[in-house]
Chain A
C-alpha cells in the first residue's frame, strides 16, 4: 500500500503550512481545484494500473495528470482552460498515447469529480533538491454528498530518493491524528459516486445450479441482461463511444435468444410480447450500429482502397446519416415504450407469477434440450448451404450460430469448462467467417444506397468511382469469405466437435 493517510482529526497542526513547517518542507502550491477522474466505461485505464485526472484551478489553469494506482505520477500535460477537453483533442504525446492505446475503441470520460482544497509540499535536502513530495487533498466535496471526504495526505516518492519518502511517511504515520488509508483517493471518490473501479460486465455472470428450476434460472439471466442493457442506455444516448450501443445490442440480442428458448418456461403471452418488443428495439438500433461500424473502419478502408480526398463527400454523408440514425435511436430510447419494456422486463416477465409448464423443471434438463435443439438447427442450416445458396442462407445460419453461442455462454456454469470452451472456440471461428461475409454484404448495400443519394447531390465522378472501388474491395472480401466457408463449416461440423458437444451435455 502506498504512503497515503486519512486525517481523522481535522486539526490545525495538519494544515498545509503547519505540515510544511513540521516536515521542513517548502510549500509549493495551495489553492482550490476542480478535479475530474476519467476512465472508460469498462475501466480500461484502471485495469491497466492507470488513473487519469483532470485538475483545474483558478485562474484557468488546467492540467491532465496520469498516475499509477498508487498515485505515482507518470505523465503530466497542460490542457486548454475551460472545461475538461476530450483526450482525443489533446496534442500528441506520451500521455495521449498511453491513454488512447489502453482505451482502444472506448472513450475516457469523467467518471467521478470533486472540488476542494489542495496543497503540495516539497521536502528538500541540504542542496535544496526535492527528495519527496507531499500532497494534501481535501476536504473534497462530492456533488450530492453533504459530508465532504476527509483530508488525505499522500507522500510521493521520487525515483532515487525512496529512503527520504519512507522517512517522511514514518513521521506522518506516527501522528495520532492520521490513519493509514486502506484505499486510494481515486477509489474513495469513486465509492462516493457509487462506483466500483474495475467492476464491469458486458455479459451475465450467473452461476446456475443444475437442479435450479428453469424459470428461476432464465429469470436470473434475463435480470442480469436487463441490468446490462440499462447501464448502457445513458452512454448510448450521449454517444460517449460506440461500444455502449454495441453492448446494449448484445444484451438485447442475448435476451431474445433466452426468450426464444424459454418457450414453456415463462407465461407464453408475456414471452411472446417481450420477444416482439425486444425485436423492435433491436431493429431500431441496427442502422446506428451499421453506420458506427462503417465510420470506425472508414479511414482504414479508404487508406488501402482508394484516394482518401475523393471519398470525403461519402464520409460526410455517412456521418450525417449516422447522426440522423442516432437521433431516431435516441427518440426510441427515451420513449415510454422503451421505458415500459425495461421495467416490464424485470417486473413483469422475470418476476411473473404465471409461469409456463416447464418452469419448475431443472435448468440442466431444459437447457440441455434447448442446446441440442439449437445445435441441430445450426447443423441443419449449415449442411444445407451450397455454392448456389443466396446470402440470406448464410445470414440465417449466422443468426442460429449466435443463438447457440449465447446459450452456451449463458449456461456455461452447468457444464464442464474445457468442453464448453472448446465448442465456443470452434463456433467463434465459424462466426468470424460468417461475420466477415455478412459485414461485407451490409457495407455493399450501404454503398449502393448512398451512391444513389450522392448522385442526386451531384457528387463528383471521382467520388463515385472511389465508391465503386470500395464496393469492389468489399466484393473481394466477401468472395474470399464465401470461398473459405466450406472449410470453416467442415471443420465445425466434424465428428470430434459433435462428440465433445454430446459429451458436454451428458449428465
Chain B
C-alpha cells in the first residue's frame, strides 16, 4: 500500500477506533483490584472546594460566625493535623464517625455562599438558574455540567447529568425555594461525592 494511502486510511479510521475504545471503557470500567484510595485532608479538599466555587478559603464556612470550619472547628474530624497545641501530628487512622456530617456542613455553607454571591451578581456558577427558571431542564443541565467541571475537573457523563438535573423532582414536594435548594443541593452532591473527597 502506498504510504500516502496508508496515512489517509489511518487518518480516516483513527477517530472511529478511538471512539470505539473510549465507549468500551466508559461502559464497563474495570474495578480496581488494589483499591488504593486515600482521603484528602480537610485543607486539601477545602482548597479544591474554594477553587471550584471561586471562593477564598476563609469564605467557605465559619461555625458560630467566627470559628473557621476547616482550619479550626472540624480540623481533626476532617483528617487534619495540629501538632502544636493538640499534639496530633498524624491524621486519624480511620475516618471520624462525624466526618461525613461535617463534610456536608462545610459544603452546604460554601455552596450557599456561592449562591448568595451569584444572586448579588455577577454570577459565577448558578447564572443559568438565576437568570432563567429552575424549572428549565436546560438551565439545570448547564449548572450541573459547570458544577462537575469546576469541582471535579472533568466533564459529567449522561447519568451524572441526569442525577443532578433530576434532583429538582426530588426536592419539588419538599422545598419552598426550589431555585436555591436545587442549586445548593446539586452543589453539595458534587462537592461531597467520594470523588471530591478521595484520590
Task: Say whether A and B bind each other.
Answer: no
